[in-house]
């Protein structure tokens, strides 16, 4: 056992020495790449979009339980944040904005923790744990108010104040088609009563209406109304009421654009009745 530990230590030292030699000037980015270091050293000048995929709470007030929250991290240890309008209860947009202070610390090559105070909501302390899967994305878990509210999901990092010509998410969806490929589903409903794979073609009109055409087992043709909101350079949230012969349900969709016309999507259908995710492609319908 002692020999194994020594070998591991020696391997780590060799890796670090090798990484240090990757550049005559010991370039930090090259060392990070060599070591597989994904968690950033700090969050100053970064926007993080927190996609909400799960919420557990005994919190009596309004709270974000689906959609996304965008937080802008400043160099002075303060942040500003904005929810997307999908709070438990109906509240004005300005009540979904909040501010606070933060302290961020890297806890491993790919992990970090943020200890913050929401100065808008009773100076409530909260903790966010990050698990980076790439240098700009991963999974997060938040404990707000010592267990009053627990949120989790996926996150994406973007540079603050990114030039508009570098944005990938469009400002509107009218006169486009979006082809959604269903890759994953999660629900307590019996198997077979909802689509677990397939394709849905969504066609958007200028008047705030859309048409759905489903391809695959369990998919349905339907219509609906939509509200599309670009919330950051590469991410948008869409709130829809979908109407078919079988049901009328709301859903909230988060689009993460990886190119100007494609990316990943996550949908909370029927206020948690079904969770869908997959990939999408956008193309004009005129």
Q: What is the pLDDT of residues 61-100, one digit of tens each?
A: 667 788 999 999 999 999 999 888 666 665 555 557 899 9
Residue 3 counted as domain residue: no
Q: Write down the pLDDT at residue 90.
A: 58
| pTM score | 0.85
Task: Look at 23 and 32; give whichever has higher pLDDT.
Answer: 32
Residue 168 counted as domain residue: no
The CATH number of residue 149's host domain is 2.40.128
Q: Write down the pLDDT at residue 8.
A: 43
Q: Is the dihedral of CA 95, 100, 106, 107 positive or negative?
A: negative
Q: Write down the pLDDT at residue 83.
A: 85
- In this structure, the answer to whether residues 230 and 273 fall within a common structural domain is yes
Residue 222 counted as domain residue: yes
- In this structure, the answer to whether residues 156 and 63 fall within a common structural domain is yes
pLDDT at 18 over 70: no
The parent domain of residue 110 ranges over 46-161
- In this structure, the answer to whether residues 157 and 201 fall within a common structural domain is no
- In this structure, the answer to whether residues 195 and 264 fall within a common structural domain is yes
pLDDT at 220 over 80: yes
- In this structure, the answer to whether residues 116 and 140 fall within a common structural domain is yes
Residue 31 counted as domain residue: no
The stretch 239-253 carries a mean pLDDT of 94
Residue 191 counted as domain residue: yes
Query: Where a domain ends, among 132, 161, 190?
Result: 161
- In this structure, the answer to whether residues 95 and 147 fall within a common structural domain is yes
pLDDT tens-digit map of 252-274: 999 999 999 999 999 999 989 99
Q: Write down the pLDDT at residue 191.
A: 86
- In this structure, the answer to whether residues 59 and 154 fall within a common structural domain is yes
- In this structure, the answer to whether residues 145 and 248 fall within a common structural domain is no
- pLDDT category of residue 122 using cuts at 50, 70 and 90: confident
Which segments of the chain does DSSP mark as H helices, in order? Answer: 2-20, 28-35
Query: Where a domain ends, among 111, 130, 161?
Result: 161
Q: Is 11 helix (H, G, I), strand (E, B) or coil?
A: helix
- pLDDT category of residue 3 using cuts at 50, 70 and 90: low
Lowest-confidence segment of 88-97, 215-224, 246-255 by average pLDDT? 88-97
Residue 18 counted as domain residue: no
What domain count does the chain have?
2
Residue 151 counted as domain residue: yes
Q: How far is CA 27 from CA 20, 24, 33, 39, 148, in A?
A: 8, 8, 10, 17, 44
Residue 29 counted as domain residue: no
Q: Which residues contact 85 (CB under 8 A, 6 or more apart)?
A: 67, 93, 96, 229, 237, 239
- In this structure, the answer to whether residues 154 and 182 fall within a common structural domain is no
pLDDT at 31 over 70: no
- In this structure, the answer to whether residues 280 and 184 fall within a common structural domain is yes
Q: What is the mean pLDDT of the chain?
A: 86
- In this structure, the answer to whether residues 52 and 150 fall within a common structural domain is yes
Query: Where a domain ends, among 161, 196, 226?
Result: 161
- In this structure, the answer to whether residues 189 and 131 fall within a common structural domain is no
């Amino acid at each position: 056992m002692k020999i194994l530990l020594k070998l591991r230590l020696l391997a780590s030292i060799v890796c670090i020495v090798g990484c240090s030699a990757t550049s005559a000037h010991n370039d930090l980015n090259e060392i990070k790449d060599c070591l597989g270091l994904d968690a950033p050293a700090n969050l100053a000048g970064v926007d993080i979009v927190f996609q909400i995929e799960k919420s557990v709470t005994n919190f009596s007030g309004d709270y974000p339980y689906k959609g996304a929250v965008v937080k802008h991290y400043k160099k002075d240890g303060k942040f500003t944040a904005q929810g997307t309008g999908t709070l438990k209860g109906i509240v004005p947009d300005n009540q979904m904005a909040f501010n606070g202070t933060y302290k961020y610390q890297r806890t491993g090559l790919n992990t970090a923790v943020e200890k913050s105070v929401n100065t808008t909501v009773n100076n409530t302390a909260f903790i966010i744990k990050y698990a980076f899967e790439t240098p700009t994305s991963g999974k997060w878990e938040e404990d707000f108010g010592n267990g009053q509210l627990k949120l989790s999901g996926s996150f994406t990092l973007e540079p603050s104040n990114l030039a508009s010509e570098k944005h990938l998410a469009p400002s509107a969806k009218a006169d486009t088609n979006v082809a959604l490929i269903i890759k994953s589903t999660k629900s307590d409903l019996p198997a077979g009563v909802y689509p677990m794979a397939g394709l849905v073609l969504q066609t958007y009109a200028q008047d705030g209406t859309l048409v759905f055409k489903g391809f695959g087992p369990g998919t349905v043709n339907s219509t609906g109304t939509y509200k599309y909101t670009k919330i950051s350079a590469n991410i948008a949230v869409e709130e829809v009421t979908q109407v078919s012969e079988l049901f009328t349900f709301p859903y909230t969709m988060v689009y993460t654009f990886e190119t100007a016309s494609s990316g990943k999507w996550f949908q909370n259908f029927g206020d948690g009745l079904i969770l869908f995710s997959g990939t999408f492609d956008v193309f004009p319908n005129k």
